[in-house]
Amino acid sequence: MAEIIDIKETDIEYLRHGDEALLARIYRPEGSGPYPMLVDLHGGAWCNGDRNNDQMLCRAIAQSGVVVAALDFQQPPAAGYPDVMADIHFGVRWLKANAQQLSGNADKVGILGVSSGGQQAMLLAMRPSDPRYSSLESSQLQEVDAAVNCVVLCWPVIDPIGRYHSGKERIASGQPYPSHLPDVLPCHDRYWGNEDAMSEGSPLRILERGEDVSLPPAIYLQGEEDQMHPRQHLDRFVPLYRERGGELELALYPGEAEGFITRTPQSVDNQSAAIQRIIDFVHARLG
């Protein structure tokens, strides 16, 4: 087993909108580094959650020798798509610009997202130069881009419009569905505003439309009993990503539902194996 490195945790303001300060929880390994760096985007159906959601996972990754920055970003009603993507884009650039002070390496930066955060992570990775996402400016960040070297997807909402339609169909059919599905679907409306935006910002539909996008190495983790992230979307996305020339590892975990890494798993062994798989992937891609 790799050595566990002591870490320090600090909240730092990385962006401000009027009176609202957006914080990054920095998990910083002790030592001089420079360490590779990873941005964490929490889930919560785009409308809930904060930088504390993924503490256990962020700590485990940081203890392996990675600077992790878990970002807060705006949520409805304060902002929706694409403005929230501008917060995330700014956060990636901010981390790179402050790499030296954080004992990090600005040339080795990845991004991790959970559920809706996975959709945002993949979208940022695919479109690092989109002018809508790069609209927030700072003199400190003028020469800094938001390109990432790898992507970690933890049960992402890889097709927001597809999840929206399938969720509505499941509820209307009267068949069994997850108890929180009716609470999640209105979050689609609040964040995206309309179905055209859900399709435009869908990583799956982006590939199906043949858009010219970046395709950094990725790993996609999901439980085989996940009822909130339709398996058919995963099954369409993974081969398309590979066909377009992207390298993608798929890690499926029998018996596990959504959230099994960051919440209570069916099997602690699966949870531990998935966390180690993420750590191994990050170090292999970022060095």
Q: What is the pLDDT of residues 134-169, one digit of tens each?
A: 999 998 898 999 999 999 999 999 999 999 999 999
**Distance of alpha carbon 281 from alpha carbon 153, whole angstroms:** 12
**Distance of alpha carbon 156 from alpha carbon 152, whole angstroms:** 10
**Distance of alpha carbon 35 from alpha carbon 31, whole angstroms:** 9
Average pLDDT, stretch 262-283? Answer: 95
Assess if residue 238 is contained within a domain.
yes
Assess if residue 1 is contained within a domain.
no
CATH number for position 93: 3.40.50.1820
Assess if residue 93 is contained within a domain.
yes
250 contacts 114 by C-beta, under 8 angstroms: no
Assess if residue 100 is contained within a domain.
yes
Average pLDDT, stretch 104-119? Answer: 98
Decide if pLDDT at 287 tops 60.
yes
Say what the pLDDT of residue 32 is: 85
- Is this prediction's pTM over 0.75? yes
- State the first-to-last Cα distance of the chain, in angstroms, to the nearest integer: 17
Q: What are phi and psi of 160, to 5 degrees?
A: -55, -40
1 contacts 23 by C-beta, under 8 angstroms: no
Assess if residue 2 is contained within a domain.
no
147 contacts 130 by C-beta, under 8 angstroms: no
Assess if residue 246 is contained within a domain.
yes
Check residue 146 and report its DSSP letter. Answer: -
Per-residue pLDDT reduced to its tens digit, 63-111: 999 999 999 999 999 999 999 999 999 999 999 999 999 999 999 999 9
Q: What are phi and psi of 14, to 5 degrees?
A: -110, -15
Q: Tokens standing for 187?
A: 């979050």
Length of the chain: 287
Assess if residue 271 is contained within a domain.
yes
Domain span including residue 64: 7-286
Phi-psi region of 115 (alpha: psi -120 to 50; beta: other; left: phi over 0): left
Assess if residue 173 is contained within a domain.
yes
Total domain count, the chain: 1
